[in-house]
Structure 1
Amino acid sequence: MIIFKYAEQLARYIQQQKTAGKQIGFVPTMGALHNGHLALINQSKQATAVTVCSIFVNPTQFNNPSDYQLYPKTIEQDIAKLEAAGCDALFLPAIAEMYPRGTAGLEHYDLGYLETLLEGAFRPGHFQGVCQVMFRLLTMVQPHQLFMGQKDYQQCMVVSRLLTLMQSPIQLVTCPTLREPDGLAMSSRNMRLSAEDRQQATAIYQCLTHIKEQLNQGVSWGVIKEQAEKMLTNAGFRIDYVELANANTLEPASDAQAAASRMPRVALIAAFLHEVRLIDNMLV
């Protein structure tokens, strides 16, 4: 695996690969890699000839400065995992490489209503930061395919919107969420959970499973939401949201709408366990 710290060197490498007729796959990450990330690397390796991974903890998408400071950093272990997974190239830029003019007064992206609900409502500015870094990464890497995980459901929709705004031919491939044996969605933030909190964290998956079962039995969303919030609160969570949305648009999905249109729906949860914020979702 070749490690690049500068975009210019990476661009030369990628152009060589493209000249040789090779398809480029790209997996952007913030490091603290786990098996979910490695599954994305594997998907890319199956679909493309050259897999590029990036590790960059992007400061502009953290609306909570302490969350940025506490984000797990395990670069040596990450490099070892990527080498073992057969990743071809790692882009490891510094902040100055990504934002040479600093992070103040950056561009703004028209994300429409996507920025006003769920994660957008609870983390103001977060998706602007996501777009700022993804625009730069995609411009630098110029991949054919981009691989992201479904756990960040709304983020995948935001990046899809960004690709449209960029008029980019890059294909976004959304891969299923990988889970621990007890159902907890794999996440870098799980590293910050104490042993006791790690056990409690499974309540989110249990909640999502409960929501799906109850919806399939025809129970109204209002009743189910109340049950789910009680389950989370009893497990020690401080809830940001428990919502049911149209899986294609993320707009709220009422019982009447769903019955009339048979629309695909997704249940989404975000909640704090002490200071660690966890998100998850499930298609229902």
Structure 2
Amino acid sequence: MQVIEDPKLLRSEIKKLKQQGELISFIPTMGNLHQGHLTLVKEGQLHAKITIVSIFVNPMQFNNAQDLANYPKTLAEDCAQLKEAGVDIVFTPTPEVIYPNGLNAQTFVEVPGISDSLEGELRPGHFRGVSTIVTKLFNLVQPDFACFGKKDFQQLAVIKQMVLDLAMPIKIIPVETVRENSGLAMSSRNSKLSEAEKLIAPKIAEVMNNIGQNLPTNSENCEQLIKDAQQTLNNSGFKTDEIHIVDPLTFAPLHKASKQAVILMAAFLGNTRLIDNLVVNLHQ
């Protein structure tokens, strides 16, 4: 396995692979890897012989400087896991390499509409940062396939729309959320939870699934379902950040023609923000 920091060297290696006719699967990450990331790697390996993973904590997508500073960095452990998983190349650039002129002078990519609603409204500039770095990484890696987890539901939708709008020759492969035995969605942020918080954390998935069970017969009463869920989470020790029930295609409120709904959850447990989502069929 090669670990490459220099974009020029990466381009050189990619060129060789392309000349050999190899297909490439790509998994962009911010490191601090867990089984969810390794599931993305396994999925990528089903589609292409060559698998490339990037590890880059992207400052452009953080609107909270403290959150960026506290993001866990475990590069040596990450590379050991990726080597064992059979990854071919790990790309580990620094912010200075990716943004040589600084963030304020960086050309950016923004997907209109979807980037400004829900999570985008709560975290201004977040999806601009995501779409910009993913575009830059796609340009460097030139993958045929790219794997993204469904846990970041709105992010996945932004990337799919960006690839479509910019006519990128890349197939985006959504991968199911990997969960702990408790039902909690795996996340790099889970490592920041205290032992006591880890016992409470699965409640977010439990509350989400409860909404999902009630939604098909009660989809006209989303406000009450959300209010009840917020109260349950807050009484359990969470500080609810946002709960949305929207159409998964448009991210607009549900309407009579909506065939599915997506429940989007975000809540703080201590200082850790946990997210989750669930797609529910409304009409059989």
Instruction: Tell me the TM-score normalised to structure 2 length.
Output: 0.95
Shift in alpha-carbon separation, 1:157–1:185, aligned structure 2, 3 A: same
1:228 is matched with which residue? 229
Which residues in structure 2 correspond to 1:201-280 (within 5 Å)? 201-218=201-218, 220-253=221-254, 257=255, 260-280=256-276
Q: Which runs of 5+ in 2 are unaligned?
A: none
* Secondary structure of 1:28's aligned partner: strand
Which residues in structure 2 correspond to 1:20-169 (within 5 Å)? 20-169=20-169
* Secondary structure of 1:151's aligned partner: coil
Q: What's the C-alpha RMSD, in Å, of the aligned pairs?
A: 1.3
| Identical aligned residues as a percent | 37
Contact 1:38 1:85 in 2 (8 A): yes
Q: Which runs of 5+ in 1 are unaligned?
A: none
Deviation at 1:116, TM superposition (A): 2.1
Deviation at 1:262, TM superposition (A): 4.5
Q: Which moved more, 1:212-221 or 1:271-280?
A: 212-221
Deviation at 1:35, TM superposition (A): 0.2
Deviation at 1:206, TM superposition (A): 0.4
Tell me, in whole angstroms, the C-alpha distance in 1 between the residues paired with 2:191 and 2:269.
13
Contact 1:106 1:132 in 2 (8 A): no
Contact 2:54 2:92 in 1 (8 A): yes
Q: Which amino acid aligns with 2:19?
A: T
Q: Which moved more, 1:107-116 or 1:12-21?
A: 107-116
Contact 2:53 2:89 in 1 (8 A): yes
* Secondary structure of 2:78's aligned partner: helix
Contact 2:144 2:170 in 1 (8 A): yes
Contact 2:111 2:131 in 1 (8 A): no
Deviation at 1:164, TM superposition (A): 2.8
Deviation at 1:110, TM superposition (A): 4.0
Tell me, in whole angstroms, the C-alpha distance in 2 between the residues paired with 1:221 and 1:248.
17
Q: Which moved more, 1:31-40 or 1:202-211?
A: 202-211
Contact 2:151 2:177 in 1 (8 A): yes
Deviation at 1:223, TM superposition (A): 2.4
Contact 1:3 1:90 in 2 (8 A): yes
* Secondary structure of 1:115's aligned partner: coil
2:4 is matched with which residue? 4
Q: Deviations over 1:138-179 (max 9, x none)?
A: 110010011000000100111122213432111111100000
* Secondary structure of 1:196's aligned partner: helix
The answer to whether 1:282 aligns with 2:278 is: yes
Q: Deviations over 1:8-27 (max 9, x none)?
A: 11111112112212110000
Deviation at 1:261, TM superposition (A): 2.0
Q: Deviations over 1:53-76 (max 9, x none)?
A: 000001111100000000011111
Count matched residues. 279
Deviation at 1:264, TM superposition (A): 1.6
* Secondary structure of 1:112's aligned partner: coil
Tell me, in whole angstroms, the C-alpha distance in 2 between the residues paired with 1:73 and 1:173.
26
Q: Deviations over 1:110-156 (max 9, x none)?
A: 42221222210111111111122111111100100110000001001
Q: Which amino acid aligns with 2:79?
A: I
Q: Deviations over 1:97-119 (max 9, x none)?
A: 11111111333434222122221
Structure 1 segments of 4+ aligned residues over 3 angstroms from their partners: 216-219
The answer to whether 1:15 aligns with 2:4 is: no
